[in-house]
Amino acid sequence: MGILGGDGFSLPVVSETEVVDVNLNFTDKAIRALEQNMNGDEDTHVLVISAQSGGCSGYLYDMKIIKRPEDEGFQQISIGGINVFVHNKDSSMLNGIQIDFKETLMGGGFQIENPNADRACGCGQSFG
Amino acid sequence: MRNNASGEEYYVRAQSVTLLQGNDSTNVIDRVVSTRIVDSPDSHGIDVLFCDYNGRITDHGSIYKIQEKILLLSSEEMGDKTRKTLIDGKSWDEQCDLIIADEAIGRVSLVSADFQSIITRMGFEGTQLERNRVMEIGDMIAVKSEFPGGSVLDILLPRNQMSDFISILEDAEYSEMSDDRWNFVRLAVCIPSLIDIRGNLPNECGMINRISNDKGCYPGQEVHARLDSRGRTVKRLCLIMGESTISPGKYRLSNGSPAHITSCESSESVSYGIAKLRVDDIDSGYVNLDGAKWKVEALTYL
């Protein structure tokens, strides 16, 4: 079977982080941009905002429009009739973020300001 | 192997052991470490660094890909924090479970002038040892690691088989090292401890081979990239060898330069230590430290 066994260990799994009730702030421009991107799929699709390791500062933001996930670990926030989902594991990192939308040719798109971040990368996509 | 560090000896090392399993385990860990691991082959060990956003080392470890799982051995001191960094960085849709295996898997480090005879006795018959190649037999794996001062054979095995394995070692006339003896041997072989490298930049520790300039962003990558293109290494980690004893701490050389001794251990008439010295002082080959002459060698790790 080898040192790592066939079916895994009966050992403690590292547990995930603190869960808080998420509050998100969208600017009017960000809501309009979101509505355009949803393109009428509001009933079936949701916006998932998440964080994962990476980038120069430790964590990277990710935003995806996907079919409503079945995972029960999400918190659901309604923004202008659009369902925005944040997973519990990201809740403490993303609580209180402000999402804006900048219409510039260079570096435009959704911009996130995070009050929980001690630092951010110059590109604005990485925080820590 | 340096003088006084040879002989057939073993040491059961305290270690943080983490098992990562799931299809995305490699990506989860690759985003956090400074070393590129996504392309590494199975059954191969890789030495990795964990750095902060300033590029300074926060932890170090070795990664072994075995049977589509990843075994991470990292420092005991930072084990929980390193695991938290990994689990916090897992995306909600990634498959990766982190399992704490400190109580399940033990690590025994062997020093010997001839590893081949013990691995034959363990049943690895006909197998040639190669650096960082993982050899599996039964529930054990063996990996040979090379350091500036010599080699160490690490055996990873279930803790419930530890006493049987130690019997094999003692039948082969291996003796157990005390903590002080291990500290002496690790310094002679130049195995870094977290206390020697934490808070330093990889280039200062001679660990430039453990950062990747083409893997994309990871914590500290911007600083490492600037060091690669424009940086100048002012201080380096080095081995100091002498006949006196010295305690870890901050000193001044006879020329006034700073010296930071992070580890030191003596045995009979020889002392080995790891120190951070100015590069100009290391280049001279010897330094006068605390009233005694010490030979110095800059450390470079593969």
Count chain A–chain B contacts defined by CB atoms under 8 A. Answer: 113
Q: How far is A128 from chain B (nearest CA, A)?
A: 8
* Angstrom distance (rounded) from CA A45 to CA A31: 15
Instruction: Tell the burial category of A103 from Cβ atoms under 10 Å away from its Cβ (0-12, 13-18, 19+).
Output: exposed
Per the CB < 8 A criterion, the answer to whether B17 and B73 are in contact is yes
Give the mean pLDDT of B271-288: 95
* Residues of chain A with C-beta less than 8 angstroms from the C-beta of B92: 48, 50, 71, 73-74, 87, 89-90
Nearest one of B153, B136, B143 to B63, comparing CA atoms: B143
User: Is the ipTM here above 0.90?
Assistant: no
Of B71, B89, B156, which is closest to A52 when you measure between CB atoms? B89
Of A3, A53, A93, which is closest to B32 when you measure between CB atoms? A53
Q: Do A2 and B139 touch (CB under 8 A)?
A: yes
User: According to the model, what pLDDT value does residue B296 have?
Assistant: 97
| Beta strands at A25-26 and B69-74: parallel, antiparallel or unpaired | unpaired
In this prediction the pTM is: 0.91
* Residues of chain A with C-beta less than 8 angstroms from the C-beta of B90: 52-53, 89
Mutate to test the interface with B, among A14, A16, A59 (most CBs of B within 10 A): A14
Residue-wise pLDDT for A57-100, tens only, equals: 889 999 999 999 988 899 999 998 899 999 999 999 999 999 99
Residues of A with CB under 8 A from a CB of B: 1-4, 8-9, 11-17, 48, 50-60, 62, 69, 71, 73-74, 87, 89-90, 93, 119, 121, 126, 128
Output the six-digit token pair for B7.
């002989």
User: According to the model, what pLDDT value does residue B1 have?
Assistant: 58
